[in-house]
Amino acid sequence: MMLRTLGLLLLAAEGALAQSREASQWDANVTAYGGTVDGCPCTADCSPNSLEEVVQVSSNSVTATFVSGADLKFAYLTDEHGTIISYKAGDDLDFGPTGSSSITFEWSASEQPTGVVPHIVYADSCADAVYRNPDGTTVTSTWRSKLALLAQTYDVSGGSSSYTSTIDAAPEITSITLDADWFNTGGSFAATFPAAMFSTEAPTGMNVAWLKNQDGTVLAYTEGEGTQPAAISISATNFPRGSVDLRACRLFPTEKLCTSESIVTKYINKIEGAGSAGLTPTDVGTYSTTNTAFTDAFTGHYDSGSGRTSIAPKSSDCKQYVMYAKHVDDDGVVIHDASGLLGFGFDKALDFAATSTMKYKVYLTCDGKALTTGIMDLAVFSSLNKGRFSVRTDEVQVGYPKCVGDRVADNTTWFEVDGRDCMCDKGTLFCKKAAPGSYFLMNEGESVGLALSVSLIVLLLLCGGIFLLLKKSAQSSEKMVVLKENAQASPEDRL
């Protein structure tokens, strides 16, 4: 109970530190935000309840349905704090050939709103119309917020329950498909959620099913009811670029069931041409100090102390890329099965455990069309007693700030800071976890966040203590007044 209370206090601290409207690129378009629009004064009801429905339709979009029959000046969407995260005007207000009375707002994937408020501004009156929930509020909760609230309400993590569903109720992921332009867009997948049969009578309450990727982005969401929940299906749902692990989950009042599936192999098959043409390959050979084809393509690092190596594209022009590495055995044969895959990722350097004699083959595509491959021989590299190979000098010269002393932001050089192995990437310090028994260390941002959260908790506890003290003092004063009145009573009232 204490841990849950502390968690809620920390969430409250996070909310208190962020509850303010932020500037956006559309502020100038909505010059009198939240009321009358400049140049078109509203004379009647300036904020009517004209929206009929607001429905989230994807991880980063909602559709607002409104009363048709009037032209719109513009429309915009705000988050729970009032920040404008989407704006539509002019051609963007085209409702289709049938004059549909709905608008779909999309927001950047980097935005993570817990609630949204659609606004439509009528051209004739400039009234800023919104949707109001049955309780009178205007903020519509997003999937992310709904799931967080249910997870906290049900609190099924780590606990056992007498209400247990059969294993047949576990979700099943189906129909995973990569787009033709998978490098830029991703793909789609679907899932089925069988009917849940419980060992005893299940508790009543809403159950929900959802799809997400490894980043926790909720891609689809649906709600169900019933003491014996029926089967649910979620049709083909798009997943974004960079998704490597897909998950389907269902939450009941007493149990949470999840299934996950890696799609790394599907990407590799697309790249190498298993069942398809594959990408156009260029092999740069095996690493050596004189093989400039290899060192022009890749940059990396090997740390004999930690037994780890990293590798990344050298060119700063390769900003979006897919990269993976496979182990090469002592006979020079590339191990293509799952046991040979050392690392895979989108837009980030590979980092994995390695020995000083290991060989591995690295695969890189910067556009989803051309493929560059090469073999890294750590035995040759280690014999030269170097910490890194093929320094990415072009990126250092851009002028990124130094994050620790004279250390440059080259994304490859490892050094020790406060007992931890760290490297600099574009002015930001990234460090590995400290060894067991080491001091607990945090960066400046983490320290400030924790300090503010603890300060707020202390303030809440202090306010509670003062309240209890005042309450106790008031009760004591009341007793003294009663005793004093009794003492001043007439002699006839005494025994």
258-293 pLDDT tens trace: 999 999 999 999 999 876 678 999 999 999 888 999
Same domain for 251 and 303, yes or no, is no
**239 contacts 186 by C-beta, under 8 angstroms:** yes
Say if 255 falls within a structural domain.
Answer: yes
Residue positions counted in the chain: 495
- What is the C-alpha radius of gyration for the chain, rounded to an integer number of angstroms? 30
Rounded-to-integer distance, Cα 229 and Cα 206, Å = 9
**Can you tell me which residue has the tokens 């709905």?**
102
Domain boundary among 370, 390, 410: 390
End-to-end CA distance of the chain: 53
427-447 pLDDT tens trace: 677 776 555 444 444 555 556
Rounded-to-integer distance, Cα 190 and Cα 172, Å = 9
Rounded-to-integer distance, Cα 398 and Cα 400, Å = 6
Say if 422 falls within a structural domain.
Answer: no
Most confident of 6-10, 89-93, 370-374: 370-374
In this prediction, residue 405 carries a pLDDT of 55
How many domains in the chain? 3
Say if 1 falls within a structural domain.
Answer: no
75-86 pLDDT tens trace: 899 999 989 999
Domain boundary among 97, 112, 141: 141
Q: How far is CA 79 from CA 61, 106, 420, 431, 493, in A?
A: 12, 12, 39, 33, 69
Token representation of residue 420 = 């931890």
Q: 184 falls in which pLDDT band (50, 70, 90)?
A: very high
Q: Which of 68-72, 182-186, 366-370 has the lowest mean pLDDT?
A: 68-72
Predicted TM-score (pTM) of this structure: 0.69
Question: Where residue 40 sits, what CATH number does that domain have?
Answer: 2.60.40
292-308 pLDDT tens trace: 999 999 998 888 888 89
Amino acid 79 reads D
Same domain for 110 and 189, yes or no, is no
In this prediction, residue 227 carries a pLDDT of 59
Same domain for 27 and 75, yes or no, is yes
Same domain for 66 and 176, yes or no, is no
The domain in which residue 378 lies consists of: 277-390
Say if 486 falls within a structural domain.
Answer: no
Residue 404 has phi, psi (to 5 degrees) of: -145, 110
